[in-house]
Chain A
Amino acid sequence: MTYSKDEFLITAIARLLETDDVRHVAVGAASPVPGAAALLVRKLKGGTPRVSLIHGKATNPFTDGGREIFDAAGQGRIDVFFLGGVQIDGEANLNLVGSGEYPKVDKRFPGSFGSAYMYFTVPRVILFRPEHSRRVFVPKVDFISAPGVSDPDVHRPGGPKFMVTELCIMAFDTECRRFRLQSVTPGRTVEEVLDNTGFEIDVPENVPETPVPEEDRLALLRSSVGVEIGDTYPAFARDVLGVAA
């Protein structure tokens, strides 16, 4: 069965959400791919994990205002969250603010959103950044919206666990402060990953391919899960999954 790049990324993320310690996945604004991955796993596992899409209607459980997701995260009620970055470096520091020397930035992006808190509080943060280039994966970010690791005297139950790009999946080792290549997208190579990454990563002797999307999962994405994500992201459901609202 043929599949699109977004469908591949959805199933790649979904495999990172299938362990039993994932009970509640929250998904922030403008994140249809992570949202679809979480809803797919919920469908496959018959209702767990809980999935909270902050701008959905029935999929948005929050009734106590914008602060509730952060309060829930601060208490450990959210197990997985997704973050990205205009720039990301080898210590998993995230920059969502801009490139150039702050505050006189060359190019200004929206801002840090809730990253400087969610990165500290959610135990399994998955970094999702499809564009895999040296423009994004830099030696050192120009502005730290949220740091990848913290000193021992800072209360920090949360942090980065994986990074998913169009070329590969990496795991983050907090102790060593380094990414390790976990698998490479079919048709791409380890060399290509290294050429397009502006920082050093650990590469094991054998790097497997990331599995292609399972046929039964593609079928779910293009039907019931597509309808569910279409409640929040109608254009995405229509254009990527072929599901009309």
Chain B
Amino acid sequence: MTTYLDHIDDLASEVPDGALLALPPEYSFVPMALVRAIIRRGVKDLHVLTVPINGLAADMLIGAGCVRKIECAAVSLGEAGLAPRFSAAVEAETVEVLDSTCPAVHTALQATEKGVPFMPLGGLIGSDILNNRDDWKVVDDPLEQGNGRIVLIPAIQPDVAIIHSPLADRDGNVWIGRRRELATIAHASKTLLVTAERIQDESLLESEATAAGTLPGFYVSAVAPAVHGAKPLGLVEVYPPDTDEIISYAREARTEEGFQAYLQQNVFTVREAAE
């Protein structure tokens, strides 16, 4: 059964030190309020997996010292520029990076969805991404059908995944619309923590229009309300990204001092609104 918690600070307690934590991509329901709660809790040694890319959330978690290792196809603030704490930590070697490529992350989660230990993926051969991945393996076409060499990507099962949805119901069902990568993340993860902009009484499965875009409750471990839970990022058709705020973060976080000041003002002295 899905647990309903009153406040996202309670949800943040479900993220243990050392967890393999999956984050959705920047345009896809990133639970920024929950990320701030995780930073306030002082979680350590996370192994972050970006699915397949991320920006602000990964950058803040790294800057706040919560991350030991990150597997990513890219970390970027998009039009606001480079992710400053990510770049600084990689350059200083204070965080370990496993470089990947977008379809390899999707493939690794799809393998877990299907309950198989690995899946093949085209491309990659001749890249230094592959050359630096001891966990990936190149094999000759095992079916001997003349398809040449191909890369095997091992399954990844995140310990915890976190998302923010515009709408949940009381049965643990969560609306994700066409953000189907969130379904893949949910199917592959041991624990899924959800923050929701709104929680309605009527089941999302009652209507075919919402059922098609709904993640069923049996994948959802816990839900907590969080109004404006994706801000300063956007939530499609609910609010746009706060571009000025993201640009201001990109500027302040260029230095360690600026980032710490940002944390003091926007994370440590804030209690997130539940509703």
Chain A contacts to B: CB under 8 angstroms? 29-30, 55, 57, 62-68, 70, 74, 96-98, 102-121, 143-147, 150-151, 153-155, 235
Q: Flag whether B53 is at the interface (Cβ < 8 A).
A: yes
Q: How many residues of B contact A (CB 8 A)?
A: 53
Question: What is the predominant secondary structure among interface residues of chain B facing chain A?
Answer: mixed
| Distance between B87 CB and nearest chain A CB, rounded to angstroms | 4
Report yes or no: A153 in contact with B148, Cβ–Cβ below 8 A: yes
| Distance between B254 CB and nearest chain A CB, rounded to angstroms | 14
Report yes or no: A65 in contact with B179, Cβ–Cβ below 8 A: yes
Q: Flag whether B180 is at the interface (Cβ < 8 A).
A: yes
Binding-face segment, B30-38, B75-83, B201-209: B75-83
Chain B residues, CB < 8 A from A64: 178, 180
Chain B contacts to A: CB under 8 angstroms? 25, 27-28, 51-53, 72-76, 78-79, 82-83, 86-87, 90-91, 93, 97, 99-104, 106-107, 110, 121-130, 132, 147-150, 178-184, 236
CB within 8 Å for A108 and B102 given contacts A67-B181, A143-B128, A154-B149 = no
Residue from the list A62, A110, A116 in contact with B123, Cβ < 8 A: A116
A-B CB contact pairs (8 Å), 5 listed: A64-B178, A65-B182, A104-B93, A108-B86, A235-B79
Report yes or no: B102 in contact with A154, Cβ–Cβ below 8 A: no
Report yes or no: A144 in contact with B127, Cβ–Cβ below 8 A: yes
Residue ID in chain B nearest A113 by CB atoms? B74
Looking at B75, B91, B102, B183, which has the most chain A CB atoms within 10 Å of its CB? Answer: B102
Chain A residues, CB < 8 A from B180: 63-66, 68
Chain A residues, CB < 8 A from B76: 110-111
Given A63-B180, A70-B103, A119-B123, 11 extra CB contacts under 8 A: A62-B178, A64-B180, A65-B106, A65-B178, A66-B25, A67-B181, A105-B91, A106-B91, A109-B87, A116-B124, A145-B127
Residue ID in chain A nearest B182 by CB atoms? A65
How many CB-defined contacts (below 8 Å) exist between A and B?
140
Looking at B25, B91, B179, which has the most chain A CB atoms within 10 Å of its CB? Answer: B91
Report yes or no: A144 in contact with B126, Cβ–Cβ below 8 A: yes
Residue ID in chain B nearest A67 by CB atoms? B106
Residue ID in chain B nearest A158 by CB atoms? B123
Q: How far is the CA of A185 from the CA of B241 in the complex (A)?
A: 37
Q: How far is the CA of A106 from the CA of B73 in the complex (A)?
A: 19
Report yes or no: B101 in contact with A117, Cβ–Cβ below 8 A: yes
CB within 8 Å for A111 and B74 given contacts A30-B79, A116-B101, A144-B127 = yes
Looking at A110, A115, A118, which has the most chain B CB atoms within 10 Å of its CB? Answer: A110
Q: How far is the CA of A74 from the CA of B101 in the complex (A)?
A: 14
